[in-house]
Structure 1
Amino acid sequence: MMQTSAPTNMSENEPDLPVRGLGLMMMRDISGGLRMSRYAAKLAWTDIRLRYKGSFLGPLWLTLSFAVMVVAMGIVYARLFQIDLVGYLPYTAISFAIWFSWFSPVVMESCGCFTAARAQIFAAKLPLTVQILRTLMRNSLALAHVIPVPIAVFIWFGIALKPMALWSLAGMAVWAVDGFAVCMVFGSICARYRDIPQIIGAVMQIAFYVTPIIWQPEQLGEDSRWLRLNPLFSLLTIVRAPLLGAMPRAENYIVAILFSLVLIGLALIVFRAARSKIPYWI
């Protein structure tokens, strides 16, 4: 049987390059991928179209299924927690939109951002980071399809956004950078070790329950101080709180930024070491 060789566009990246050379090739890959962001957006839109090809409602299924989940779980958990639905449903709608339509899918799909694009990597001379942008943009499009649900909830309860809601844009920028870094880390590691996605999936399930998504921090009382040890809480807060009319605490920004810096540093180290080997692994 004929063995498939690594793509010709990656032949320049020999595994035994010096560290300085690996770092230079990594920076060229990142800058090249960013310059091809429009192409990555086209790939992401094609992925969305193919995902719902042949369906009657197309991507509208995302909106409808998300609306049903928010309303059903919002009402049930508001009754269980004895919380006023007017305050709880907007909180739930935003939390679910962030977690289920962007954060969790990005983390899980980051594991296959390179392996799933094996054909494109072998066929075209493209920076590997194009596939990272493709993953992020694909999930951003999915998020855009569910945004009308929180908007409808706010309108239904007569809740108006305050000027501080603009601060959520800063939080979203942090999330975009973190998502890029996550894809660099997990995409590289999972290209080599194919059983890692199952471990990450189990960790994500645990993270969902220990992070204030279906429950509110105030419900923990004095024990809510332990949430500062969970960086996902701070990352959620810097996006969610401004939309709900409250400014995040300074410590939320500090934790989120420090976590992001550590994640970016780890991503650069992992991607620099793995980039030249990824075509051989996939």
Structure 2
Amino acid sequence: MDSMQNAPSTEDTQRTSQPAPVLALLPETGVSYIRHAWQDMLSGMKLARLGATLGWLDIKLRYRGSILGPFWLTASTAVMVAAMGVLYAYLMNMDVHKYLPFLTFSLVLWGFASGTLQDGCTTFTSASGLIHSARMPYSLHVLRATVRNLLTVAHNIPVVVVVFLWFAVVPAWSWTMPAACALWVFDSFMATFLLGILGTRFRDVPPIVASTLQILFFVTPILWAPELMKTGQDWLLLDPFFPLMEILRTPFTGDIVNAAIWPAALGWSAVLTVVTFALFARMRARLAYWV
């Protein structure tokens, strides 16, 4: 009886005779690249609250122990506007009442753009600890950097408000304002994503971006108004920063937006989106090994 109970059953014999499962590692194809990249972005958007919290904590840790904290940016922007506004208005023979609001809004926008691009180069390398220790979507780290830069530029908004109230600037309120703000946030997210990938793979990207921004600061109409160019203003559309700044700066300063500005801004945004998504889909599986 005991021997019959200890004898293996037919099911046990069949189970033990079956071969062990084999894990087949197959290379990704073009469709799987796109599917995984899209799933990563969707997963990052689902964790938007976590990304915003991490961006807020970055700002708190950056200025921990400081008296004014990020409001040092507000003070430095106010001093820069007051010093440069009167001087450049005199040098370019422009009305201070019209030039100073233009310069203030331009410097704030450029500060946000340049800060986003420079910070975007180290998006993944600065988050290498989280990437190696936790399984998180890469888009979450991009969202974290975007929120961090949005909070930084928010501290310069009081300077714009004070200057606009002082010179009685009345914005041309229309639907283009929220659309332009949404496009700025979307483009900053995509630019951070693109430079984060390139900066992770090629460590020469951050100094290249810094040098390029120094040149574009003087080429793009920031210190000087586009109206100073009597001819050849259409060539400014080849500068991706110019249409993006005009769609937001022009309605806030009360001017009329040129008809070619919005198509150019949307065109540059489409190019940025396609290049970023294609590069991320191809390089997503390698990012963890590069950081």
Q: Could you state the TM-score of these two structures normalised by the residue count of structure 2?
A: 0.88
1:118 to 124, 128, 132: 128
Q: Secondary structure at the match of 2:262?
A: helix
- Which residue of structure 2 lines up, in the alignment, with residue 140 of structure 1? 150
2:249 to 234, 240, 248: 240
The CA distance in 2 between the partners of 1:244 and 1:17, in whole Å, is 50
Instruction: State how many pairs are aligned.
Output: 267
Alpha carbons 1:15, 1:277 under 8 Å: kept? no
Structure 2 residue 47 is the aligned partner of structure 1 residue 36: yes
1:229-268 superposed matches below 5 A? 229-268=238-277
Instruction: Pick the structure with greater CA Rg.
Output: 2
Tell me how far 1:196 sits from its aligned partner. 1.3
Tell me how far 1:226 sits from its aligned partner. 2.0
The CA distance in 2 between the partners of 1:181 and 1:270, in whole Å, is 11
- Which residue of structure 1 lines up, in the alignment, with residue 138 of structure 2? 128
1:70 to 81, 105, 121: 81
Matching residue's letter, 2:93:
Q
Tell me how far 1:15 sits from its aligned partner. 9.7
Matching residue's letter, 2:113:
F
- Which residue of structure 1 lines up, in the alignment, with residue 161 of structure 2? 151
The CA distance in 2 between the partners of 1:167 and 1:158, in whole Å, is 21
- Which residue of structure 2 lines up, in the alignment, with residue 52 of structure 1? 63
How high is the sequence identity, in percent, across the aligned residues?
37
Structure 2 residue 261 is the aligned partner of structure 1 residue 276: no
Q: Which moved more, 1:219-228 or 1:195-204?
A: 219-228
- Which residue of structure 2 lines up, in the alignment, with residue 214 of structure 1? 223
Q: After the TM superposition, list the runs of 4 or more consecutive aligned residues in structure 1 that deviate by more than 3 angstroms.
A: none
Tell me how far 1:31 sits from its aligned partner. 0.4
Q: Secondary structure at the match of 1:116?
A: coil
- Which residue of structure 2 lines up, in the alignment, with residue 8 of structure 1? none
Unaligned runs of 5+ in 1: 1-13
- Which residue of structure 1 lines up, in the alignment, with residue 183 of structure 2? 174
Q: Secondary structure at the match of 1:250?
A: coil
Tell me how far 1:118 sits from its aligned partner. 0.6
Q: Deviations over 1:175-207 (max 9, x none)?
A: 222112212221111111101111111111111
Alpha carbons 2:122, 2:199 under 8 Å: kept? yes
Matching residue's letter, 1:67:
A
- Which residue of structure 2 lines up, in the alignment, with residue 183 of structure 1? 192
